Every structure is written in C-alpha cells, then in structure tokens.
Amino acid sequence: MGSGKSTAGKGIAALLRWRFTDLDKLVEQNEGITVAEIFAVRGEELFRRAETEALKRVSGRKRTVVACGGGTPCSEANMALMKSTGVTVYLRLPVEALVSRLSGSRTHRPLLDNAGPEELAERVSDLMEKRGMWYEQADLILDTENMDEEEMTTIIAGAVRSKGAYL
C-alpha cells in the first residue's frame, strides 16, 4: 500500500502502449461495491477470494499491465499465477516512506482503519514483515524511494521487453 503501483502501472502501460488494469478496481466492478465495503460487509477472506478470481481473469490478457493490491501476491497460488503469466515487480520503499505517503492519502484502506500516526507505522511495519517473503519473490525489485516515475517506468518496461514481451 502506498508504493505507487497504480501510478507506475499507468506509466508503464503508456510507455509500452499496453492496457492498464487496477486489480482492486476490477474487484469492485465484479462485486458491485467498493473494496472498503467488501471488507466491512463480507470480510477480508471473501475479498481475497474475489481478488484471486479477478487475478485469474486478468492474467489471461495479453499486453496488459496489472497493478495488484498489496496482499495479492501473498499466496502460493496467486504468486505462481503472476509469475507464470507476466513479469512481477516489487516497488520497495522503507516503512517510513510508506507511512508518510499513506498518512497523506485520501484512499480508504481497510487494513489501516482508525490508525493514528504511531499505530499506522506499526501496522505498516507488521504488514511488511508478513508480506516481505512474498514480495521478495518478484522478478524485479526496485528501491524506489529516490527514483522518479520516468526512471522507474523505463527500467520496468526494459525488464518486460527482456522477458520477451514486445510492442
């Protein structure tokens, strides 16, 4: 959360002249309610199932950049699907940078509900500890704290092309 996946994804898609899909938005379209409402009404487990179904659908598309939610790669099935159908990228940022971005964000993030500044840092740190082993399996890991969007998108587009995906 807060690493810039959606922003970077749009830039990469534009550079490659591919489509862009935000997985959370796809889940919302499929379910007819927002991610926050899914968490509140149906719970995280049902959200994760809907997320996996959306991932399965989008993974079959050609020439598509997908911005996944922060929890998407955190299962063997999802990670295997992602790695078998595309190039996986981890936009790595230190916890402090993520907290700074998230504290200024207007996006509602159910896993961070009602977190004050200190609790926000603790929750982000806990999530990173739980998810790090999954994120580290990415094909490309970029430390993006001091990287501008143009540099990031150029590196990622190059990695995609090196894996055999061309315009």
Q: What is the pLDDT of residues 110-141, one digit of tens each?
A: 666 666 767 778 888 898 999 999 999 999 99
What per-residue confidence (pLDDT) applies to 167?
A: 43
Closest CA to 47 of 23, 65, 64: 23
Domain boundary assignment for the chain: 5-162
Backbone angles phi, psi at 95, to 5 degrees: -55, -40
Average pLDDT over residues 41-52: 94
Task: Kindly state which CATH superfamily the domain 5-162 is placed in.
Answer: P-loop containing nucleotide triphosphate hydrolases (3.40.50.300)
Q: pLDDT averaged over the chain?
A: 88
What per-residue confidence (pLDDT) applies to 2?
A: 72
Note if the pTM is more than 0.75: yes
Backbone angles phi, psi at 66, to 5 degrees: -115, 125
pLDDT of 106 above 80: no
Confidence of residue 101 (pLDDT cuts 50, 70, 90): confident
Average pLDDT over residues 58-87: 94
Q: State the Cα–Cα distance between residues 158 and 165, nearest whole angstrom.
A: 10
What per-residue confidence (pLDDT) applies to 117?
A: 66
pLDDT tens digits along 108-118: 666 666 667 67
